[in-house]
A and B are shown apart, each in its own frame.
Chain A
Amino acid sequence: MHLLRIALAALMLGGGAAVLAQTGRDVPPAASTANPSGQNPTAASVREDQLLRELNKLQGRVSIPDGKAALLEQPQGREWRQFREGWLPWIGGIAILGMLLALFGFYFTKGRIRLDQTEESGVKILRFNAFERFMHWLTAVCFIVLALTGLNYIFGKRLLMPIIGPDAFAALSQWGKYAHNYLAWPFMLGLLLMLIVWVKDNIPNRVDVAWIRKGGGFLGDAHPSAYRFNAGQKMIFWIVVIGGLLMSATGILMLFPFSATDINGMQLTQAVHAVIGVLFIAAILAHIYIGSLGMEGAYDAMGSGEVDLAWARRHHDLWVEEQRAKTASGPQVHGARPVPAE
C-alpha cells in the first residue's frame, strides 16, 4: 500500500512538470522538455470565448454567502458598461446643455416676461403659505445637491478630475456619495408632501387645453386663463412627481443592492435612474429659469409667499377670482391699496 502511494505521488509530480513545461513560464523551453509529438495537446480544448458564445454566461459554484460571485462573465455586463461609459454621458450632455442653450436663446430673443403695471399693482395676494414654501424648498435644496452629486457620477472623472487631481476628486466624490445617499430621504419626504398638498390643484382640465393652444400667452394677443396652476406648471408638477417617484424607487433599489433583483436588474435600475435623472435636471432647469430670471414677479411666490395682484391677475386670473370669492377683501388680499369690491 505504501509503495502504491509513492508511485501515485511520483506520477502526479511527473504530470505537474509536464503541465509547467507546456505553459512555458516556470520551466524554460528546451528541446528536452518540448512535447516530443510536436503537437499542442490543449489546442482543441474549449476556450473562454467559445464557452461564453455557447452558454451565454460563464458561472460556477462558490461557498461564500455571495452567490452572485459564482457568475464570472455575461454579455449584459459589457452592454451596461458600454451604456454607462458611452451613451449616458452623451444623453446627459445633450439634455442638459441643450436645455441651457434653449433657455439662453429664449432669454436673448424674448427677454424677460415683465410685470404688468395696472391699478392692482402694489397690492399683494398670498400665493403660497409658509408650509407650502417649506416643502418646496426642502425638496429643492435636496434636489440641487442630488443633481450636482449625481452629475459627478457621470461627468466627474471626465471634467473635474483633470482639474482638481485624483486625490481631491476621490475625497469630493466620497462626500458627494454620502450627500447623495442621505439627502435622498428628505427629498423623498418633500416629494410626498408636495404630492399630497398640491395634487388637487394639478388635475388637468379644459382650461389647460386652451392655455396650451395659446402657447401659454406667446401665441395670440390675450393671455390664457389659468386656475392656481397653469398647464406649464402642471406639467412641471407631474414631471417632478412621476420622475421623483421613479428616481426614489430606483434609488432605494440601489441603496439596498440585490435586495429585490439580480445583477441584470441592478444594471437596468442604474440605467433608468441615470437617464431619468438627467432629463429631470433638464426639466428643472427650465422651472428654475421661469421662476427666477425668466418672469418678473414669479420668485416672490416662493420667496415671501405673496405676489403682486396684477401679476396674479395676468397669469392666474381664475385663481384670483376664486380667492376673492372666498375672502372678498379679507386676510387673503392685502397691500398698499384695498382691492375694490366687485
Chain B
Amino acid sequence: MKTIILAIVAAVLLAGAAAYLLSVNQKPAYQAFSTTGARVTPTDNLVGPNWSGDPQGRGAGHRG
C-alpha cells in the first residue's frame, strides 16, 4: 500500500510539473490562431469580462 500511495503522490507531482511546463510553452487558441485585431478575450472584449454586454464589467447584464 505504501508503494501505491507513493506512486499516487509522484503522479500528482509530475502532473503538476507537466501542467506548468505546458502552460509556459503553449499559447491559448485565441492567441495562436488569430491576429491581435481579431482576438476576443474574456478580459478585454466588446461584451465585457462577464460577457454581459457591459465593457466595464459593472453589471450582471445589459441594461440598455
Contact = CB atoms under 8 A, between A and B. Distances in A.
Interface of A: 63-66, 68-69, 130, 133-134, 137-138, 140-142, 178-179, 181-186, 189, 255-256, 303, 305
Given A134-B3, A137-B7, A141-B4, A65 B15 contact: no
Interface in B3-62: 3-4, 6-8, 10-11, 14-19, 22, 26, 32-35, 38
B43 to A, nearest CB: 19
A123 to B, nearest CB: 22
A186 B15 contact: yes
Contact of B8 (A141, A184, A256): A141
Contact of B11 (A130, A178, A186): A186
Interface residues of B, number: 21
- The residue among B8, B10, B11, B34 with the most chain A CB atoms within 10 A of its own CB is B11
B4 to A, nearest CB: 5
7 contacts: A65-B33, A134-B7, A141-B11, A181-B22, A182-B15, A183-B15, A185-B18
A270 to B, nearest CB: 16
Given A130-B3, A182-B16, A64 B34 contact: yes
Nearest to B3: A133
B7 A185 contact: no
Nearest to B11: A186
Nearest to A187: B11
Nearest to A303: B1
